[in-house]
Structure formats: structure tokens, C-alpha cells
Structure 1
Amino acid sequence: MKESEENFILRRAEISDQVKIWDILQQAVQRRKNDGSNQWQDGYPNSETAIIDIQNKVGFVFEKDNEIAGYAAIIFDVEPAYENIEGKWLSEGEYAVIHRVAVSERFLGQGIATELFLKIEDFVKSKQVVSIKVDTNFDNVQMLKILDRLKYSYCGEVHFRGSPRKAFEKILS
């Protein structure tokens, strides 16, 4: 599966991408720490996370000019933590979940995360799914800005590993 527009490609991650994905995830973990965020400061994600995503065929890399610029897990399955939202989702039907969004340090400030989300939205629509649900930490300012910019609606709180998270949904048109 490849989707291309200009010099951006969203493709399913391969096991050979694992080292680069882990490097990008580690950079994102450090950025969260440097920003004073509690997100991803508890040993998750770890080096096995990308391998499991790849094996489960939910890991995707975002390439710019043939170089991996970002990573995300796109899951077309029920997210158990989303079943107990303190609030209300916009829809109750089939949805895609986006987890573990991370951008390489080399590509920061280039709008890569926004482009990645737009490609994910196109990919999800191509699967005839019209809802994307995502969550983030209350103090992940960068992700909150992206979700606002792309018109994701705040729906309430969900809990992951004992911590509350802001939950968002977007109905794709």
C-alpha cells in the first residue's frame, strides 16, 4: 500500500524500518520530557512497540523525499480504552484510531505532523471509514494545536495506563 502526492508517501512500515522508527520514537519521548510533559515518560513506547505494530500491520511510516520523516500507528479496531469515555463521541460506528504519532528531529518545523494526519485521513477514507479517534496528554501542546488546526472535536477523557487523556474525534467528509 502506497499513497503518494508530491514528495510525501504514507506506507505500511516494514521490519527493516524498525531501527529508524525506534529512533524517531525516542526523539519524541525526549521532546515530551524537555517540554515538561508527562506523556511517554513511563517506559512507553519502548523498543518492542514498533516491532509489535509492524507485526500487527498497524505501523506506518511517512516519507518525505524517500526519507522516513514520521511514524504513526493506524488501527482499524476497537480501542478498549475508548469504550469508557467520560464524555461522548461524535459517532458510534466503525472508526480508525491513531496512536504513537512521532516526527523525526530532522523534519521538525516543516509541518510534517500535519501532513501526516492529512495522509492518514485520506488512507482511512480509502478504507470506507469516516471516523478517526485519537487521544493525547493534557500537556502535549504541539499535538493539541495540530488537532485543533485540523478540526478534531474534543469529546471528553479516556484513561490509558492509569492516566487521563484528552479524546478527540473527526468525522471525515
Structure 2
Amino acid sequence: MNYHFRTAELSEIDSIWEILQQAIQRRKKDGSTQWQDGYPNPEVIQKDIEKGEGFVLADGETIIGYSAVLINDEPAYATIEGNWLTNDDFVVMHRVAISEKYLGKGLAKLMLKNIEDFALSNNIFSVKADTNFDNPAMMKIFETLGYIYCGEVFFRGSPRKAYEKVLHKQD
């Protein structure tokens, strides 16, 4: 397998949107309210990419995963019912999705590890994320990778479970 993680290009919006639509349908099938309100959408992805914040996981030339990766840019995280582990610079991930054809191969974990490497390469030692209360698969991935549950944050009026992982300098 030739997996690599890189910034997305505008020409890849259709492939990325297809992966996100699959994830939106999976969330719906699982009975989740997450991503069932017209968000995310192609305009959101286009903005991610234009700002240099859209990232893809690719298998050779094939896009198999997507995530927005932002530095210090999540106003909703300023207010948490609970406490973050750190108050320093942080990387935040949103819109994490893996292609249906590649599910069950540990690729969401691989993408999170790549996001952690991205943080470290920018001398940032905290990764923050959130997920819906009805997304046990994502919560399990966070817990497996050592993310700590910190409390609740609110997005578009809904509470979300907030997690943080403190990274350590590479030797």
C-alpha cells in the first residue's frame, strides 16, 4: 500500500465530496444526527482547500480519505464545559471521512497519526477534536490513540464530545 497524506487540490473536490457523501449516508444509516443538516457540503470543502486546510489520504493516485486540519482556528473551542489539557497552540481536525471501499483497514487511525505528525512538524504539541455523542466509532478511535475526553463544546447549537491529545517532541 502506498498511502500518503497531503494537502488537497481544488480539482479533487468531486472525489472528496463523494467520500463525505458516503460518510453522511453511513451516519444516517447508523441513526446519527451528525452531518444530516446540509453540512458539510462542497462549498465547505472548497473553502478548506482554498485556505490550505483541506488534506487527503491517498492510495497512490486514489483519494481515500479527507480531513480539514486547522491551526488554532476553532472559535467553538474557546468555550468548553470541562477543561482542555493545554492552552497552547493546537491543531484541530474536522470532517474526517474514509472512503467506503477502504473501511475497516485502520485508515482513520492512520489519518489521525498523519495529523499528529503535521502538528509536530509545526512545533505544535496538542491536537483537539470533537465528535457527536452518537458516533461511537470515532470515540473509540480517539480513545485507542490516546485522546483524552475533556468535556463538551457546542457547534451550531448541538453539544459535542471534545477530545485532546498532548504530543511529545520527537527525538
Same fold (TM > 0.5): yes
Secondary structure at 1:33 match in 2: helix
Which one of 26, 30, 33 corresponds to residue 21 of structure 2? 26
The equivalent of 2:153 in structure 1 is 158
User: C-alpha offsets along residues 1-35 of structure 1, whole Å, 9 cap, x if unaligned?
Assistant: xxxxx622110000011100000111100000001
The equivalent of 2:82 in structure 1 is 87
Percent identical residues: 54
Tell whether 2:30 aligns with 1:35: yes
Q: How far apart, in 2, do the equivalents of 1:156 and 1:78 lie?
A: 18
Q: How far apart, in 1, do the equivalents of 2:73 and 2:25 lie?
A: 29
**Where does 1:92-171 land on structure 2 (aligned, <5 Å)?**
92-171=87-166
Q: How far apart, in 1, do the equivalents of 2:53 and 2:13 lie?
A: 13
Alignment: residue pair count: 168
Q: Give how far 1:43 is off.
A: 0.8
The equivalent of 1:17 in structure 2 is 12
User: C-alpha offsets along residues 33-83 of structure 1, whole Å, 9 cap, x if unaligned?
Assistant: 001111101110012111111011100000123311100000012311000
Q: Which blocks of at least 5 consecutive residues in structure 2 are unaligned? A: none
Task: Give RMSD over aligned pairs.
Answer: 0.9
Q: Which blocks of at least 5 consecutive residues in structure 1 are unaligned? A: 1-5
Secondary structure at 2:129 match in 1: strand
Instruction: Name segments (4+ residues, structure 1) moved above 2 Å.
Output: none
In the superposition, the TM-score normalised over structure 2's length comes to 0.96
In the superposition, the TM-score normalised over structure 1's length comes to 0.95
Query: What is the one-letter code of the residue matched to 1:80?
Result: P
